[in-house]
Structures are given as C-alpha cells and as structure tokens.
Amino acid sequence: MRENKTNKRKPDLNTVDVIQQYTGQGWVYSDIVKDHFFHPRNLLLEDPKSGEYDAVGQVGAVQCGDVMRMWLKIDPKTERIKKLKWRTFGCGSAISATSIFSVMVTEKGGMKLDEALKIRPQDIVARLGGLPARKVHCSVLADKAFRQAVNNYFRNTKQYQRIMVEGSKVVDKRLNITERDIEQAVLEGAQNLLEVQKKLKVGVGDPQALPEIEQLIRFYKEKYYG
C-alpha cells in the first residue's frame, strides 16, 4: 500500500531544533537541555590527581560510540555524595542528561548513595523537561556510569556484599565480579590477566575462576580489537 504523502505534515522550521533527515521528524529540545549542553555542570576535562576522588566508573567504548566516565567524592561517615565529576564523548543529549544528573545528586548537601541509586533515567528526563523519543536512551548512560562508580566505591571500601550485579554472570563469587566487569576492563585497555587483576583483583581469592576469566579476556579482546 502506498504511503499517502499528502497527509504528511511538514515540521515547523521556526520551532524545531533538529530535523531527522530520513524521517522528516522534528526534534524540540527544552531550554533546560540547551542550557546544560552549552553550560555543562561538573564537567571534568582532564583526569584528576591520584586519590582526589573515592571512586570512578566508566561505561561504553570509543570503538562502539558513546563513552562516559564518572568520578565520585563520598563522605565516608554519611555516604553523601560531595562531588560528582564526569566526561563523555556522547551527543548533546548525553551531555545534558549527565550534567543535570550531577546536579541532582550533589545539590542540598548531596544525596546519600542509597537514595541516589533510586534515581531512574525517567527522573533525569523529567528534570530536563523532556527529551526527543530517539534520545531518551542517552539518560541511561549517566545512570549506568554512576552505578559502575558506586560499585567501584564498594570494592574500594571492601563492601563486596553491596556490589550490584545486574544481568551478568558472576565469575568471582568472593569479590562479586561479573562477566560485564571483565568486559569493561578490556574496553579500558587491559590486555591480559595481570592487567585485569590490577583493575579488579579478580581471581586473587578465587583461583578456580582463573581459567574462565582468561577465556573471557580472550573473547572480549577478539570481539573489540580483532
């Protein structure tokens, strides 16, 4: 059946921000999105000094597209987030979403970790005043990077029982390290077991897991680097 082109309404070029070249769909960005894109809060362009932050998390890979890195400074007594810094190679929506998220978790003295972990990508989008449907996934990038950073904090403080395991097989039961953690270590440049262990301590207390870990490292190296 032929598409009735006469019923297609052309977007008003005076109101839309972006025209999708293939569908003709108009995308409208809120003033809040634009403000956080042109004036991102808590952006960190250079890596911090060693020990300056308590935890770091990263999701994505340059080879695959968007990548997000996030640093946390946490009050050890109250577990309030005192600082959250971030950097991304993502699009404007990813920049705006992460900027507003960094404000949400640090304003009013900072949220406690457990409270901040309850923030959903939908909450980020709502705080931005909405995002185009095709860009809602960008809010997930900030959420995932934050969860990685919190897991890193739990590892650094030896709170292994609090590490969040989401949809990935655990390969080191003692430290609660998953296949996804191994994948992320390879994406961050680890090329062999020793280099992965420097990042994760994986297999140190669970030597029976070493053969599977080495197999995973080979698999992810082949997958991402050929």
- Residue-wise pLDDT tens digits, 27-41: 578 899 999 999 999
- The pLDDT confidence band at residue 190, using thresholds 50, 70 and 90, is confident
Q: What confidence category does residue 64 fall into, taking pLDDT thresholds of 50, 70 and 90?
A: very low
Question: Do 35 and 145 fall into the same domain?
Answer: yes
pLDDT band at 128 (very low <50, low <70, confident <90, very high): very high
CATH classification of the domain holding 112: 3.90.1010.10
Q: Which of 106, 103, 107, 110 is nearest to 124 (CA)?
A: 103
H or E segment and range at residue 19: strand 18-19
Q: Are residues 143 and 172 in the same domain?
A: no
The answer, yes or no, to whether residue 112 has pLDDT greater than 70, is yes
Q: Single out the residue in 129, 161, 193 at which a domain terminates.
A: 161
Residues 137 and 53 in one domain: yes
One-letter amino acid identity for 136?
A: V
The CATH number of residue 220's host domain is: 1.10.10.1100
**Within a domain: 12:** no
Domain region containing 207: 165-225
* DSSP conformational letter for 75: -
Phi-psi region of 30 (alpha: psi -120 to 50; beta: other; left: phi over 0): beta
Q: Does the reported pTM lie above 0.95?
A: no
For residues 87 and 97, give the distance between their C-alpha atoms in angstroms, rounded to a whole number: 12
| Domain boundary residue, one of 132, 161, 190 | 161
Mean pLDDT over 7-24 rounds to 47
In this structure, the answer to whether residues 193 and 127 fall within a common structural domain is no
The number of distinct structural domains making up the chain is 2
pLDDT at 61 (0 to 100): 58
Residues 79, 57 share a domain: yes
Summary mean pLDDT of the chain? 83
85-94, 143-152, 163-172, 200-209 — which one is most confidently predicted on average? 143-152
What is the CB-side half-sphere exposure of residue 173 using CA atoms within 13 A? 2
pLDDT value of residue 21: 42
Q: Are residues 129 and 77 in the same domain?
A: yes
Q: Of 161, 184, 200, which residue sits at a domain end?
A: 161
Would you state the pLDDT for residue 113?
97
Q: Does 127 share its domain with 155? A: yes
Task: Give the active site residues.
Answer: 64, 138
Q: Is the pLDDT of residue 144 over 60?
A: yes
Instruction: Say how far apart CA 139 and CA 116 lie, in whole Å.
Output: 15
In a domain, residue 69? The reply is yes
Q: CA-based diameter of the chain, in Å?
A: 68
Same domain, yes or no: 146 and 174: no
pLDDT at 215: 93
Most confident of 24-28, 90-94, 117-121, 222-226: 117-121
Distance CA 18, CA 92 (A): 12
Answer whether residue 38 is part of any domain. Answer: yes
Instruction: Give the SS3 label for residue 67.
Output: strand
Q: Mean pLDDT check: name the lowest of 38-47, 78-87, 169-178.
A: 169-178
Is residue 162's pLDDT more than 90? Answer: yes
Q: Are both 156 and 215 inside the same structural domain?
A: no
- Same domain? For 173 and 157 the reply is no
User: Residue type for 34, please?
Assistant: K
51 shares a domain with 157:
yes
If you count them, how many residues does the chain have?
226
Whether residue 147 sits in one domain with residue 176: no
Query: Dihedral through CA 211, CA 144, CA 90, CA 153, nearest 10?
Result: -80
Percent of the chain, pLDDT > 90?
48
In a domain, 114, yes or no: yes
SS3 content of the chain, % helix, strand, coil (to 5): 45, 15, 40
Residue with tokens 């082109």: 5
